[in-house]
Structure 1
């Protein structure tokens, strides 16, 4: 593979890579396992889901396409100063921002202490990086701050309901946004009707909603705000700036699905 970019990661790649991958030993006992193959390292959960991925030749590079899509929320807000990340994973969001946007103050929330340990031990998140060991629901319930950007990427086991589908959680999200703020939500869609149901909930809470169907994956990323979005032409121009090159913003923003008012 080219040394500066990993390949596109999809199900076919995993079927090829998983049997050849090396298991990485970590100090924590966890239901997740860490694997490495051909300059890529990832977390595989007990239910077979890939929760996060690292490019070992550039730790700041966001490998998974839905992570790039979540980071494209940066394009919607001029000079964001504060970001809330609900769901640390392996720290892909944090590593990217520390490298490319160190001016943004990030509050990181992760309910599983083992994931925090994994991110620092196996995925090169700085050992001194502060992460609040708390659920997203608990944090938002008690939160008094407001943010320019909120990224919401909560992994739940298949049998467990995801809080992002509740009106209380969504209302707490909008309460945590500054007036010009934008929230990006990663949504694992089970069916087209599941997407529509989620969209209806979002439009009851937020004045503005747009989305992208992440290429060749089930992930839908919703972008929501209570402030008018910039015009598509303005977003496309901004997305083409070199600072957004590593998140492929120009491609992703051009694929947004704009909904009628």
Structure 2
């Protein structure tokens, strides 16, 4: 989900019918920034299926490009069966992609896999799920991650205080935080890791072969990237 700066329009998802692997919104493109520096084989968990943009993009990159060499595991979690049906019928969810129909908080609480990438894009309307502000949720996320893991969250904080409170909590669990603001969208993408994220900057994005290919204007769509390390 992305909300524009100029209006109250909320965009759930957009798909190019001729190139359905493309992510067309800068907020969604940033959810692939883990590929600037990623340990492989990749083990990816996507919390929040939405219109399956991440699923289409990663599957395409793995099957058709040199940018993902090893994809050991890629699965998604979605609570709404209607959303899963829509993704299959209208948004080209890749065949045989595993989707767990359950609450993301419950899935994380009981997961027994060590992921090195977790992407989180979970909203109820334009409001975050409450568990994103829960210590127990992030403790469980950490238990599901290996030492090189990167976590990316699409956020739409209503106030600066709400964002600050969340960042203070997240800093207890992750040594490194990158905060990405956009020119055209109110959303903020937050990257978390216990490894440095200093390489996540507009210059690196501009010159990375991957992003030149799949998102050539992303660096100019980003307003600022702030680091806490």
Q: Common fold, TM-score beyond 0.5?
A: yes
Summarize the Cα distance change of 1:247–1:160 in structure 2 as closer, same or farther, 3 Å threshold.
closer
What is aligned with 1:193? 161
Match of 1:88 in 2: 49
- Which residue pairs with 1:32 in the alignment? none
Other-structure match for 1:138: 106
CA contact under 8 A between 2:13 and 2:53: conserved in structure 1? yes
- CA shift in 2, pair 1:254/1:78, >3 Å: farther
What residue number does 1:244 align with? 211
Which of 115, 125, 138 is matched with 1:170 structurally? 138
Are 1:213 and 1:219, in contact at CA under 8 Å, matched by a contact in 2?
yes
> Which deviates the most, 96-105 or 247-256?
247-256
Kindly indicate whether residue 53 of structure 2 is the aligned counterpart of residue 97 of structure 1: no
Instruction: Specify every segment of 5 or more residues in structure 2 that has no aligned partner in the other structure, as ranges.
Output: 64-69
Partner of 2:176: 208
Instruction: Check conservation: 2:155, 2:188, Cα contact below 8 A.
Output: yes
Structure 2 residue aligned with 1:67, among 17, 28, 34? 28
Residues 126-135 or 242-251, more deviating: 242-251
Q: CA shift at 1:49, angstroms?
A: 3.5
Q: Report if aligned partners of 1:110, 1:132 keep a CA contact under 8 Å in 2.
A: yes
Cα displacement (A) at 1:69: 1.0
- Structure 1 or 2, whichever has the larger Rg, is 1
CA contact (8 A) 1:87 1:152 kept: yes
Q: 2:196 aligns with which of 216, 220, 228?
A: 228
Structure 1 residue 181 corresponds to structure 2 residue 142: no
Task: Write the distance in 2 (CA, Å) between the matches of 1:247 and 1:169.
Answer: 32
Comparing both chains, which one has the higher relative contact order based on Cα–Cα distances under 8 Å and sequence gaps of 6 or more?
2
What is the Cα deviation at residue 60 of structure 1?
A: 0.4
How many Å apart are 1:81 and its aligned residue? 1.4
Q: Let me know the Cα RMSD of the aligned residues.
A: 2.7
TM-score when normalising by structure 1: 0.74
Show structure 1 runs of 5+ residues with no match: 1-8, 16-47
**How far did 1:206 drift?**
1.1
Deviation, structure 1 residue 238: 7.1
Give the secondary-structure state (helix, strand or coil) at the position aligned to 2:140.
Answer: helix
* Cα gap change, 1:207 to 1:68, in 2 (>3 Å): same
- Structure 2 length normalisation: TM-score? 0.83
Match for residue 76 of structure 1?
Answer: 37
**Matched residue pairs, number?**
218
Q: Give the direction of change, closer, same or farther, for the CA distance of 1:140–1:121 in structure 2 (3 Å limit).
A: same
Q: Deviations over 1:44-94 (max 9, x none)?
A: xxxx73222211121000012111111112213243511110001010000
